[in-house]
Amino acid sequence: MKKERKRFIAGAVCPRCGELDKLFVYHTGGKKFRECVNCDFLEEQRFAPIARELETRVASGEVERIVRIVAPSRDEH
C-alpha cells in the first residue's frame, strides 16, 4: 500500500521518547497515522465524530435584529 506525503508537526512532542519536532503524520488506506523518526513510535489517529453544538440563547441560530439609528437632536442642552 502506498503511503502518502509525510508532514512534520511543528512543536509536537513524542509521547514515547519526549523529543520535540520529531513527529510526522501521513495518510494510508483511509487512516491517519503519526510516527516519530527518533524512536519509531507509531499511532493511528482516531478522532471522535464532531458533536453538534448545544442549543443555547447565544447559539440559537440566526435571528435578524433590526437596529434603528436615531439622528442626534439639534438643540444642545
Q: Does residue 76 lie within any of the structural domains?
A: no
Q: Does residue 66 lie within any of the structural domains?
A: yes
Q: What is the mean pLDDT of residues 59-72?
A: 78
The rounded distance, in Å, linking the Cα atoms of 31 and 22 is: 20
Question: What is the pLDDT at residue 53?
Answer: 72
Tally of structural domains, the chain: 1
Helix (DSSP H) and strand (DSSP E) numbers for the chain: 0, 4
Q: CATH code at 39?
A: 2.20.25
Domain, as residue range, for 24: 1-70
Q: What is the mean pLDDT of residues 54-73?
A: 76
Question: What is the pLDDT at residue 34?
Answer: 93
The rounded distance, in Å, linking the Cα atoms of 52 and 63 is: 19
Cβ–Cβ < 8 Å for 25, 31: no
Q: Does residue 62 lie within any of the structural domains?
A: yes
Q: Does residue 77 lie within any of the structural domains?
A: no
